[in-house]
Structure 1
């Protein structure tokens, strides 16, 4: 498979994020939203005007993921539970569930809503790479249930266009998984390895699905963007201008632009010197469109 290195890639926001993550396109605001986990900050970008905004929330609130919410604003996975927050109001973030509790060092990481508006989010230990992570499902009534466990670094939550397959990855173990997904009950079954990335293309971080049902995954440590067919075969590999891309999402007009967040944490000074886009928000046209981002129903 040839690695494409001639795709036009634009830097749309030089945000210099420490750990940029979970970009989400909001059709209501016509903006791309994402977080810097380490700063921490909730950010937005308006492609019509080029305006970038970053707002600090609670200093002790480490936001691992966001998803748009039907009632307005976002549902957020953090280091102290699941919150809802609407940037359009003056209300502070409000906690609605706390699956992790007071376990030291634990936080919520990647999260996304399924096509029926349930919020799925994975937990991890922020300092030790141990298999204590749990995959949770938050329902519209704010009931929160543990659905799977034994993960180290949960990422890549996404669904096939028909909702029948759920994707998930353990970044630390370099493995992407697929589950059978029951849209009516919100249950998962038949976990299988979708891709074993050991010794190839880096480690799987965030992912998104296009209208053709192909999965796009950012590969940390190698700077690759990989597109896979529903059977797991690799269809395209694009070389990005950053070592650590973190998560892709389709947005903009007709969901035709692929936006990618990245991180700059733990990069040596000499690496940062030759990688000026580390931590930036990137954009590229890959010739396919994405799916509308589901909203949390609660």
Structure 2
């Protein structure tokens, strides 16, 4: 699936927050606050950016709570996948994060990584070993009643959880194995089936990290290690490749007015000082206009 089109290196890309994140991840647009929220997994911190005021705020959370992903919650605040389970947290209150499920238990080194809600408000999140690249990852589904069940397993680094506009296809990637997958998704039952390879990125455009879907049903994926942003059609064919000004973009999401701006988080971890010197935007929050709108972010129903 090696693409034949040119890489676009002339797209205007803006740095909206020079946050210098160690591992910026899972940006989510909240239409209630008109703010973009995201996390720095390693710091750890929950952050927001308000495009109307250009305000950025990073809220440090307890040092031992490593937040791998967030999703907005119907009751307010967020559901969060962490290294010690699944929590709910509302930054508008004084209440600390509250654990509602613990699928990873006390297994040393395990944590939750990428997560997102399906169109019916179920929270899907994948686990991984934070130190060893071994296929012990499990994909979990958290329901509105806080019941949590394992739905798939056998991968190393879970990422790219997203759904097609009609909810009939679920996307997922194992970053370590450089493979993106697609599943048939039963929206009523909340189950996956018919797993197939959506894209094999081996020796191609990088390693697939976070992803999002636009209103036309195309999948946008950030490629770690190459700085590419790739748009794919529902059949898996590559439609666009945009070169970003960072080596390690992590996750894209549509936000802003009419969901017309594509925001992208990035990371700076493990970059040598000489690399950081020539890549000043590593860890920044970026934004660009790609000529298509995104989909509203589903909220956790529990």
Both structures adopt the same fold (TM-score exceeding 0.5) = yes
Determine which of 68, 75, 81 is the counterpart of 2:79: 75
- Structure 2 gaps of 5+ residues are none
Residue equivalent to 1:12? 16
Q: Distance in 2 between matches of 1:52 and 1:11?
A: 12
Q: Secondary structure at the match of 1:129?
A: coil
Cα distance, 1:208 vs. partner?
0.1
Q: Secondary structure at the match of 2:274?
A: helix
Q: Secondary structure at the match of 1:83?
A: strand
Matching of residue 127 in structure 1 with residue 137 in structure 2: no
Q: Distance in 1 between matches of 2:243 and 2:174?
A: 22
Determine which of 148, 155, 160 is the counterpart of 2:152: 148
Cα distance, 1:296 vs. partner?
0.1
Cα distance, 1:151 vs. partner?
0.7
Q: How many residues align?
A: 298
Cα distance, 1:127 vs. partner?
0.2
Cα distance, 1:264 vs. partner?
0.2
Cα distance, 1:258 vs. partner?
0.0
Cα distance, 1:291 vs. partner?
0.1
Q: Distance in 2 between matches of 1:153 and 1:46?
A: 31
Cα distance, 1:240 vs. partner?
0.1
Q: Distance in 1 between matches of 2:54 and 2:297?
A: 21
Q: Distance in 2 between matches of 1:248 and 1:71?
A: 25
Alignment of 1:1-298 (within 5 A): 1-298=5-302
- Alpha-carbon displacement from aligned partner over 1:230-266 (angstroms, at most 9, x marks no partner): 0000000000000000000000000000000000000
Q: Distance in 1 between matches of 2:139 and 2:6?
A: 35
Q: Secondary structure at the match of 1:4?
A: coil
Q: Secondary structure at the match of 2:276?
A: helix
- Alpha-carbon displacement from aligned partner over 1:171-196 (angstroms, at most 9, x marks no partner): 00000000000000000000000000
Q: Secondary structure at the match of 1:271?
A: helix
Q: Distance in 1 between matches of 2:122 and 2:156?
A: 23
Cα distance, 1:58 vs. partner?
1.2
Q: Distance in 2 between matches of 1:193 and 1:278?
A: 30
Q: Secondary structure at the match of 1:222?
A: coil
Cα distance, 1:59 vs. partner?
1.1
Aligned-residue CA RMSD (Å): 0.2
Q: Distance in 2 between matches of 1:57 and 1:265?
A: 19
Cα distance, 1:86 vs. partner?
0.2
- Structure 1 gaps of 5+ residues are none
Q: Distance in 2 between matches of 1:273 and 1:59?
A: 28
- Alpha-carbon displacement from aligned partner over 1:10-40 (angstroms, at most 9, x marks no partner): 0000000000000000000100000000000
Cα distance, 1:276 vs. partner?
0.2
Structure 1 ranges of 4+ moved more than 2 A: none
Q: Distance in 2 between matches of 1:23 and 1:194?
A: 23
TM-score (norm 2): 0.99
Q: Distance in 2 between matches of 1:7 and 1:61?
A: 37
Cα distance, 1:57 vs. partner?
1.1
